Structures are given as structure tokens and as C-alpha cells.
A = this chain, B = another copy of it.
């Protein structure tokens, strides 16, 4: 049995409490705001996501940066996730929610882990008292630790986008223009530079989009454990987009038939 350690007569019940939303016959309250008068028509979808996660509305600057951050995560072409979603839709077209769920289940360490990883790296390195002067030493230390344990540094380098990931300067410029480029962005850049020096690969290990997302999430004070949730929000939109295309021009059946035919070919000869 999987036991709740406290599943005993002596267990003290804890009060259940949530402040996300509630309603009465005439109104709906979300995080203390009136859905009908304060939110609908006033907050765009990215602002609403900010409200849900942070418990308050974003200001105009946070809104622009957060919408861009989430936008980076929406559409990544024909990924394994969207192929899985299309194949699942083929089997259960009446349960579109299942196809979307199948798609987001592929957002594990291989694809979604790096934004989480870079946010964690930055949030564990920077303390309340950390100042800009401390950052170069922190960057050197991060690179040294990863070299010692022979692990990749999350957030730098990209197999295709060389010498730079074109999304990174856009995100960093938006942060800068909106007063949201602070210690986390600075440290992420310093880590990339230190890694290039340490590994003798000048211009080859720039901050990639997931590193930029990790840095911006940190500037917005979002815990690294929730970064994967931001990725899930973005990708859910992308998966629904792919299912809209699958409705118009299906490819799931063709991918299935080809794979089935070829993989069992050796049994037919």
C-alpha cells in the first residue's frame, strides 16, 4: 500500500483552502478580481496566465515580456509531441483533450528540461544579497562545477541555430527595454561567455532560447519548478494548432501506415 505517513488516528486534519477562484449566482471572482468587469475585455491571455501564476495583474512592461516569453514556447514545427498528438487524435477523435494530453506528455527532460534547468541554475546561484559584482565569479564557478561532473550546462549552445539563437537577442532586448534585465539575465550571459572560454569554443556556445526563458522567468520571480508549466502552456496552444491542421490535412494515418509497413517488412519476405 502507498501510505500517507500520517494516515493514523492521531492525524490532525489540515484546513483545505484555495484563493484561485469562486463564484456566487451573480459574479465570478478570480484571484480577487471580478472576471466579468476586471478581466474579460481587459486582460489578454498571457496577462491572465500571469495573474493565475503570480496572483496579480502584470503591469504593461511585465505583460510585454511575459507574452513574448510564452510566445517563444508555442510553435516548434513537427516535433515528436505533435506527431504523438496527431496519432492519438486518429484513434480518439471524439476526445481531443486526450490528443493534447498525449502531446504534452512528451515535454520531459529531453525537450522541456533545459528551460527549467537554466532557471534552477540561476535561482540557486543568486541570493538576495548577490550584486552585479559577484556574478563573474558565480559564472566561473558554475562552469567549473559542470565540467567537473561532466554535465552539460543548461541554456547554452544549439545544434542548428549557430552562431546565435535568433530568439535570444529578441527576448533579451525586450527585457532590457522594459526594465526587466537584471542579475539573472546578466549571469546567464556571463555563464555562456565563461563556458566558451573554458571549452575553447569562442562564439559557439551562446545563450539559447531556453536559457533566455530561464533567465526571464527568474527576473519575473517565477520559481524554477514552474518553468515546465510555462512550456506546457505554450505547447498546448501549439498542439491545438497542429490538430487544427490535422483536421484540414491529416498526416497521422500516413505516418502510421508507413511505420507499420516498414517495421514488419522483414516478416513478409
Contact = CB atoms under 8 A, between A and B. Distances in A.
Interface in A146-171: 158-162, 166-167, 170-171
A5 interface: yes
A41 interface: yes
Q: Copies of this chain, how many?
A: 4
Q: Which of A11, A19, A95 has the most CB of B within 10 A?
A: A95
A87 B264 CA distance: 18
A162 B226 contact: no
A140 to B, nearest CB: 25
Interface in A3-57: 3-7, 11, 13-31, 35-36, 39-41, 43-49, 51-54
Contact of A107 (B11, B31, B91, B251): B91
Interface in A61-82: 63-64, 67-68, 70-72, 74-82
A94 B44 CA distance: 30
A256 B44 contact: no
Contacts of A51: 241
Contacts of A28: 1, 166-167
Contacts of A141: none
Contact of A52 (B19, B75, B161, B251): B75
A91 B85 CA distance: 13
Contacts of A243: 226, 229
11 contacts: A2-B80, A17-B251, A18-B242, A24-B268, A36-B166, A49-B74, A83-B87, A88-B102, A88-B106, A90-B106, A100-B236
Given A1-B22, A17-B266, 7 more contacts: A18-B249, A18-B264, A23-B161, A39-B71, A41-B68, A80-B256, A93-B109
